[in-house]
Amino acid sequence: MAETIEGHIYKTFDLDLKELKAKLRFQGELVESAIQNAVKALTERRSEIAEKVIKDDDIVNLKEVEIDEFCLKLLALRQPAARDLRFITTAIKINYDLERIGDMAVNICERVLELNQEPQLKPYIDLPKMTDIAQNMVKEALDAFLNEDIKLALKVTRDDEKVDQFLDQIFRELLTFMRQDPGTITRAVRVLFLAKYLERMADHAVDIAELVLFMMEGKIIRHLKPVQEK
């Protein structure tokens, strides 16, 4: 009998973890779509998309609390040991990161609403590419956690360089604009801030990837590489 009960308890906890993963995956999808739509609102100059992202952030916020409460419940009721405990406390931090990435999509939308009221500074070529990379990093960082995939987590930490390169490139290009025509300065700075938000999102993805690596290998990756940000 004891075995059956234990088996039952084990299975239930296993189901709990599955549910936690499903919740995080859904939250990840919400946040990824917020990133894409925020930049789409700029490139297609459709402010209504930006407004929707800002409004939908409420859902991300509520989901964050739901996931947090779910983790607390697992900790309180299941009292997991070692590995599972670390998985859940890592989930708590990743959940916190995802919500912040959602906030940054909102921050981008706020800049977009301002930018869309003025003539377009230039065609956006690099920003959508940078967005795709940042969004993919968020996706892969979360996948690395959900599938406990060290290789994928390492890939995310490497991809950060691409985002930094795009930021550098955008920065230099905008400087040229500003120098040639001071009338573009305000807009250029707004676009620059927007690119910085994308870079911060990528940084959060790296943070998540590093949490995964630490959870799985006990290695403190973030202390091995110098902090780099432009």
Smallest separation (angstroms) from its own copies to the CB of 52: 15
Give 59 or 132: the residue with its C-beta nearer to its own copies. Answer: 59
Residues within the interface to its own copies (CB under 8 A): 54, 57-58, 61-62, 65, 68, 71-72, 75-76, 79, 81-82, 85-86, 89, 92-93, 96, 100, 103, 106-107, 110, 171, 175, 178-179, 182, 185-186, 189, 192-193, 196, 207, 220, 222-223, 226-227, 229-230
Smallest separation (angstroms) from its own copies to the CB of 193: 7
Give 85 or 154: the residue with its C-beta nearer to its own copies. Answer: 85
Give 68 or 149: the residue with its C-beta nearer to its own copies. Answer: 68
Give 95 or 136: the residue with its C-beta nearer to its own copies. Answer: 95
Give 26 or 193: the residue with its C-beta nearer to its own copies. Answer: 193
CA distance 187 to 25: 36
Smallest separation (angstroms) from its own copies to the CB of 149: 22
Instruction: Report CA torsion sign: 218, 143, 38, 19.
Output: negative
Give the distance, in angstroms, between the CA of residue 79 and the centroid of all CA atoms in the same chain: 29
CA-to-CA dists, residue 188 to 115, 148, 173, 197, angstroms? 10, 41, 9, 14
Burial 29-45 (b: 16+ CB within 10 A, else e): ebbbebbbbbbbbbeee
Contact 27, 98 (CB under 8 A): yes
Residue located via tokens 């230039």: 122
CA distance 52 to 57: 9
CA-to-CA dists, residue 200 to 131, 143, 194, 204, angstroms? 11, 19, 10, 6
Residues 6+ apart with CB under 8 A from 142: 24, 25, 28, 94, 98, 208
